[in-house]
Amino acid sequence: MNPYVITDQHLSDYAQHLRTNERSAGTVENYLRYTRRFVRWLNGRPVTQEGTAAWKKQLAEGRYAPVTVNAMLAAVNSLLRFLGWEECRVKFLRVQRRVFREPGRELTQAEYRRLLDAARSRGQERLALLMEAICATGIRVSEVKYLTVEAVRRGRAEVALKGKIRTILLPGKLCRKLLQYAKKKKIVSGEIFLTANGTGISRRQIWGEMKRLCRHAGVEPSKVFPHNLRHLFATVFYRACRDIVRLADVLGHSSLETTRIYLLTSGTEHSRQLDRLGLVS
């Protein structure tokens, strides 16, 4: 009899394992969502390698993009490794490396400016400043909590994530704006971006506020999410310095392959580059 039945206790222990290993809040949220989806699909059946492969096949034949399928498989494989059920894991889908980003996902500087203008015109000062802070430094949305009054006064934030500590330099103009905002909101220490209740603003709240801003800014919702501001920072930074190793350090990447993904050009720009080759008479 196969004993591999995933229980609520297994999922609870796995969640604690992810947090203990300092996975980001976003990663924990995604991994738990995907593993619960897998458990619902099992519907009480024990886990087998054939079953996991069947789930993979169903995902691949459904409405999910290959990268999304692989993200789901990464979560389930991680759970199975944690449980010691290695033989039930499956391989990822093979995805050819892209050389450009889809136009529907590419946030331009002009669109970024429109988002800022729309937020300010609607009196959303916190949202406008938050977007500027992410885009001007390249921090992850989960790292916004490190933008404290103390860090801004020093001109640098010490970010601790995934067992690593890195220093993020804050532009002088941004520091002045953040300190002015903190003074206006009577925030004398600690996190600058707070909710009305005085707690740190969540990833979900930031995402929701940005999405609701799209219509007023005239920007496609598919382009507007916090992580795309980090992508825009990476693109502009690299154009200025042409140093991918330095950019990887700034972004906190362990692998240059991860950084390379951030530097994909848009499909439109890629087409222009092909036209400039002059190989068609």
Catalytic residue among 45, 91, 164, 183: 164
Catalytic residue among 101, 140, 223, 231: 140
Characterize the bridge pairing of strands 156-161 and 100-101: unpaired
Concatenated DSSP letters of the chain: -------HHHHHHHHHHHHHTT--HHHHHHHHHHHHHHHHHHTTPPP-HHHHHHHHHHHHHTT--HHHHHHHHHHHHHHHHHHT-GGG--PPPP-PPPSEE-GGG---HHHHHHHHHHHHHTT-HHHHHHHHHHHHH---GGGGGG-BHHHHHHTEEEEEETTEEEEEE--HHHHHHHHHHHHHTT--SSBSSB-TTSSBPPHHHHHHHHHHHHHHHT--GGG-SHHHHHHHHHHHHHHHH--HHHHHHHHT-S-HHHHHHHTPEEHHHHHHHHHHT----
Catalytic residue among 166, 227, 260, 270: 227
57: annotated active-site residue: no
* Cα→Cα distances 150→16, 117, 147, 156, 187, Å: 31, 28, 8, 9, 11
Catalytic residue among 101, 126, 145, 253: 253
253: annotated active-site residue: yes
146: annotated active-site residue: no
216: annotated active-site residue: no
164: annotated active-site residue: yes
What residues are labeled active site?
A: 140, 164, 227, 230, 253, 262
